[in-house]
Amino acid sequence: MINKIGFGLIILSLFLAFVYGTEKFTSDNPSDSALIRIGLSSIDSSSCKICELNEIYYESGCKRCIQDGIVLTAHVSNEKLYNIGWSQNNGMYYGDNDCDGLTLFENTSTKVNDTYYIEIEKNKLDLKTNFYTDKNFSNLQESVSVEMCSNPDNLQFIRISNEDGKPPGNGGKLSGYIDDIEIFDISNEKQSLIFSTSFDECLDSSCSNLWKFRNTEKISIDTNNNNLSFSSEVLGVNDYGHLRLDEELPDSWKMYFKFHINELEEHPRGKGILKIDPQLRQMVLGIPILILPLIGYGITRKIKSKIFGSLMIILGILISSSILINQNFDTNNIPSLYPSFFIIGLSILIIILGIFKMRIRKKINYETNN
């Protein structure tokens, strides 16, 4: 009976190791997530060369291109909170040399089927972003205000882009549409219209080449629904759309637009095909894989079994090899390697106990004959 329990524990451990390995192998998720950015910039989407192949920011992507700009971001990572960013002679939302340019909303996150009517107001160095839930811009969901350290200027391009993180991977998905874009000059007491579109006048996916798109399958004008549709995944390319305004914007302006999410798939955050949270995976699968064979050996330590011993050796080799293959050994951060060293040590112990398990009978027979 004891022998059967021991075998059951080692078989269970091997099964858990298979499940753990499958989940871990399929959990190679990028740090970047699917997202969509909309805002105003001093450059168009195609003019940045430093993010192209073999250039300095190829891995980081076109968000690092030097520009002046203000951009709102919706994404599918972590709490999925919206954020507003600004830049002055820096990357897309990197602020300037003195200040960080990114500000998170506290309560408003990206959710499927949500529709927001968004107002972005720049008044010299003051930047304010309001989320409303109605088309009359009266029911305020949340407001975020920030005083910028320097003044983004020369803004002449409406920019819409998704994540060009590298390498490509499963960073979730995000799709929806933008509509009813309006920009006003508020430099004087009476605001005046600078630009307006509801896409009703567009007869094709580029609105007669008014908008420039890199990949119309990801960002383009939907002439059936009269809006600008987007679909974002981490594909390792910078899919974008932009429109050049007739003139650079004044120092104070307001931008209005409608923003809707059709589909959302969260960033897996280390989850694999079985969608198990990484911390839960360690507790439910990882720890039993290490403990069960030791318990099985303990309750059957006086019973010889070449099969049992062989299974322990196989399990120990699987555990140690998986750590050696998947672990990125950073010699500059030795403390982060301690858990891996501990697991490798336990796997070696399991191998040694497996060898002892196969030799127990010989030792017992020798002691009996003497």
Length of the chain, in residues: 370
DSSP class of 302: T
Taking all residues of the chain, what is their mean pLDDT, rounded to a whole number?
Answer: 87
**Higher-confidence position of 47 and 101:** 101
Q: Which fold has domain 35-265?
A: Jelly Rolls (2.60.120)
Inter-helix orientation angle 287-299/306-326, to 10°: 160
**Quick one: what percent of the chain has pLDDT higher than 70?**
89
In the predicted model, is pLDDT for residue 336 greater than 90?
no
pLDDT of residue 326: 62
How confident is the model at residue 367, as a pLDDT?
A: 45
Nearest to 240 by CA among 255, 265, 220, 256: 220
pLDDT digit string (tens) for 114-154?
Answer: 999 999 999 999 999 999 999 999 999 999 999 999 999 99
pLDDT grade for 30, boundaries at 50, 70 and 90: low
Q: Give the per-residue pLDDT at 229.
A: 97
Q: What pLDDT does residue 77 have?
A: 87
**What is the mean predicted confidence (pLDDT) over 264-276?**
77
Judged against a pLDDT cut of 50, whether residue 14 lies above it is answered with: yes
Distance between CA 160 and CA 180 in Å, rounded?
Answer: 14
Structure confidence at residue 148 (pLDDT): 97
Helix (H) or strand (E) holding 21: helix 2-25
Helix (H, G, I), strand (E, B) or coil at 46: coil
Report the SS3 class of residue 105: strand
Measured distance CA(253)–CA(276) in Å, rounded: 46
Question: Is residue 359 predicted with pLDDT exceeding 90?
Answer: no
Maximum CA extent, the chain: 108
Q: Stretch 77-103: mean pLDDT, rounded?
A: 94
User: Which residue is it, tokens 């309750």?
Assistant: 299
CA distance linking residue 195 with residue 124, whole number of Å? 19
**Does pLDDT of 39 surpass 80?**
yes
Task: Please report the pLDDT score of residue 52 as a whole number.
Answer: 72
Helix (H, G, I), strand (E, B) or coil at 120: strand
For the chain, what are the domain ranges?
A: 2-27+271-369, 35-265
Write down the pLDDT at residue 112.
Answer: 95
pLDDT-above-90 percentage for the chain: 48
Which candidate, 67, 58, 60, places its Cα nearest to that of 95? 67
- Whether 226 shows a pLDDT value over 50: the answer reads yes
At 281 the pLDDT is 78
Residue found under tokens 């403990």: 291
Q: Please report which helix (H) or strand (E) contains residue 193, including its range.
A: strand 192-197
Residue 173 pLDDT > 50 = yes
- Residue 364 pLDDT level (bands cut at 50, 70, 90): very low
Above 50 in pLDDT, residue 193?
Answer: yes
What band does 246 get if pLDDT is binned at 50, 70 and 90? very high
Q: Which residue has the tokens 């996916």?
A: 205
Question: Residues with Cβ < 8 Å from 119, sequence gap 6 or more?
Answer: 128, 129, 130, 132, 137, 254, 255, 256
In 3D, which of 10, 152, 151 has the Cα closest to residue 69?
152
- Taking the model in full, what pTM does it have? 0.73
Token digits for 186? 């508020």
